[in-house]
């Protein structure tokens, strides 16, 4: 594999595994990135500033941080975010933090807060996208370029043809990417469409056998037994197109 991209062997290995190879590789990369954030880069000022500006991680990626080993790093990062949020709010609504706020005319204070609600929104909203969403998009582009750009090679073409293909979101992203071999696109579409067609046929068989009038049980089915679950992964994937908010 001389002169091959660094991701080439990883892609070949992932194609031999179930489900979308790009989803698998991206998921691994993002989890490694989380480890780097919380164990190695927690003291890096620039990283902390990026996460603080994004108001933490998006709601999707934050679910990947529910690990006991991440508690201290999480505490540091969330403290950063909440401290910055409170500081920004206090700039536009100083009454909230005023020691005598509870003694003031409540109606007057409430009207003042209502009038400044827009300023509070601006104070707390993210100033950049989730850093993990950004990283995920970068990695998926790298893996998809490797996939499409090497489909003309017999080994790679055979590996992809025998694989679960890529999920529909990654299929679309790949077709919209730049810096890919346009001459490989027809082959990519042909192979992916064949994979989709094969899975659709398995769903046909599953639906046929699962009809109560035929009397099949789940244990009596063949390869189509888990077709609905495989189809769910192929249709939806794990692509995150926004910052999750």
Q: Say if residue 244's pLDDT is above 60.
A: no
In this prediction, residue 95 carries a pLDDT of 60
**2-6, 12-16, 155-159, 189-193: which range is least confident on average?**
2-6
For the ranges 139-153, 186-200, 209-223, the lowest mean pLDDT is seen at: 209-223
Do residue 203 and residue 164 come from a single domain?
A: yes
| Domain final position from 72, 102, 124 | 124
How many structural domains compose the chain? 2
Decide: helix, strand or coil at residue 124: helix
- Is 3 domain-assigned? no
Are 106 and 188 found together in one domain? no
Q: What percent of the chain clears pLDDT 70, i.e. is strictly above it?
A: 84
Domain holding 216, by residue range, is 131-236
Q: What is the pLDDT of residues 10-34, one digit of tens each?
A: 999 999 999 999 999 999 999 999 9
CA-CA distance, 114 to 112, in Å (whole number)? Answer: 5
Same domain, 87 and 112: yes
92 falls within a domain: yes
Stronger pLDDT, 151 or 102, i.e. the higher one: 151
CA atoms within 13 A on the CB side of 30: 26
More confident residue, 222 or 116: 222
Give the residue from 104, 124, 144 where a domain finishes.
124
Q: Rounding to the nearest 10 degrees, give the CA dihedral for residues 35, 165, 129, 49.
A: 20
What is the reported pLDDT for 207?
87
User: Does 105 have pLDDT greater than 70?
Assistant: no
Same structural domain, 160 and 73: no
Neighbours of 71 (CB within 10 A): 12
Q: What is the mean pLDDT of residues 130-145?
A: 94
Nearest partner of 139 among 14, 29, 13, judged by Cα: 29
Where is the domain boundary, 108, 124, 140? Answer: 124
User: Confidence class of residue 243 from pLDDT cuts 50, 70 and 90?
Assistant: very low
Residues 33 and 69 in one domain: yes
């Amino acid at each position: 594999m001389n002169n091959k991209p660094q991701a080439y062997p990883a892609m070949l290995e992932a194609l031999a595994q179930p489900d979308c190879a790009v989803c698998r590789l991206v998921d691994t990369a993002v989890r490694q990135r989380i480890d780097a954030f919380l164990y190695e880069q927690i003291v890096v000022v620039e990283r902390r500033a990026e996460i603080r500006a994004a108001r933490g991680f998006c709601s999707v990626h934050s679910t990947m941080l529910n690990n006991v080993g991440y508690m201290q790093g999480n505490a540091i990062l969330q403290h950063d975010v909440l401290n910055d949020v409170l500081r920004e709010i206090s700039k536009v609504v100083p009454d909230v933090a005023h020691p005598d706020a509870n003694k003031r005319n409540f109606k007057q204070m409430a009207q003042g807060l209502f009038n400044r609600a827009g300023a509070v929104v601006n104070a707390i909203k993210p100033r950049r996208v989730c850093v993990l969403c950004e990283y995920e998009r970068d990695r998926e582009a790298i893996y998809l370029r490797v996939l499409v750009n090497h489909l003309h090679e017999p080994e790679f073409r055979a590996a992809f043809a025998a694989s679960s293909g890529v999920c529909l979101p990654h299929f679309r992203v790949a077709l919209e990417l730049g810096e890919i071999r346009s001459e490989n696109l027809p082959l990519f579409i042909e192979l992916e469409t064949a994979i989709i067609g094969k899975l659709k046929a398995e769903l046909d068989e599953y639906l046929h056998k699962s009809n109560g009038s035929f009397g099949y049980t789940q244990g009596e089915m063949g390869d189509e037994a888990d077709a609905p679950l495989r189809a769910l992964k192929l249709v939806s994937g794990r692509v995150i197109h926004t910052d999750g908010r």
